[in-house]
Amino acid sequence: MKSLFLDLVGYERGLVVTLVDLYRNPLNVIESNEAKANKYISGNRLLLISIGIWVLFNSLIIDWNTAIPPYLYAKANLLGGFTPDAEIVKKISGVGANLMERYMAPLTVLYVALSTLIADRLCKHLGLSVKNHLEVITYSTALYFMVMTVFSLVFAVNGLIAEGLLIVAGIISMTGYKNYLELVRTRNYFKVDGKEIEQYHKIAKGLASFILVLVSFGVIMGIDYLW
């Protein structure tokens, strides 16, 4: 706990300097860590911090069983002016609440592990280590997890606004400006073969997401049904 607190508030090897330098020069962060300069928070620790922030807001502060129903009723009213069945709303809200409050954090850890393993297999011919892939994927996942926390707060306030933000992001992505949505481009973590590695990482993350969505959906629905 002391170490995590120092990471959050410290300048040297603290959260702020790590986030700033990830945007300015992510390769320098990776190389500094390899040299054991102790200037930055490691990818694993940054992921732990981002998951802790997620749990703080989404498991301890936001009540998703209360936050989801207003969105469902507002969405139904917007689409056709009808009132959905209360039991269906309760069921959907329960599944959504479990996902946000219980399963998202462990699923993220599994996603990182699975993405790393797939990326390592795809990039074998490039001579990169599993540790190298793990660090890059933990950094990128931690950054997006922080953004997801902000998004979850917006959704808890007004689900339609959050949905609108997703639609805008989708439009930006389809119009060819998706690079502006990337917090740190994967290629910038590598000195050579960055573009090729970036493509392999995208494939790895896509496969990991697809596998986990299928498995977790089945498990969550099964648990909720049995419960």
Which are the contacts of 125, defined by CB distance < 8 A and separation ≥ 6? none
Which are the contacts of 82, defined by CB distance < 8 A and separation ≥ 6? 76
| Average confidence (pLDDT) per 10 residues, the chain, 227 residues | 59 75 92 87 91 92 93 88 86 90 92 96 93 95 93 93 88 72 87 94 94 80 57
- At residue 222, the pLDDT reads 64
- At residue 157, the pLDDT reads 92
Residue 33 lies in a domain: no
Q: How many structural domains are present in the chain? A: 1
Helix (H, G, I), strand (E, B) or coil at 42: coil
Block residue for tokens 């011919």 = 125
- At residue 11, the pLDDT reads 47
Residue 1 lies in a domain: no
Count the Cβ atoms, other than its own, within 10 Å of residue 64: 21
- At residue 227, the pLDDT reads 52
Domain extent at residue 125 = 53-226
DSSP state of 125: G
The answer to whether the beta carbons of residues 119 and 204 sit under 8 Å apart is yes
Residue 119 lies in a domain: yes
Residue 23 lies in a domain: no
Residue 110 lies in a domain: yes
C-alpha distances in Å from residue 190, one per residue of 26, 53, 107, 127: 8, 28, 27, 12
Residue 219 lies in a domain: yes
Residue 18 lies in a domain: no
Residue 40 lies in a domain: no
- At residue 108, the pLDDT reads 93
Amino acid code (one letter) for 123: C
- At residue 95, the pLDDT reads 86
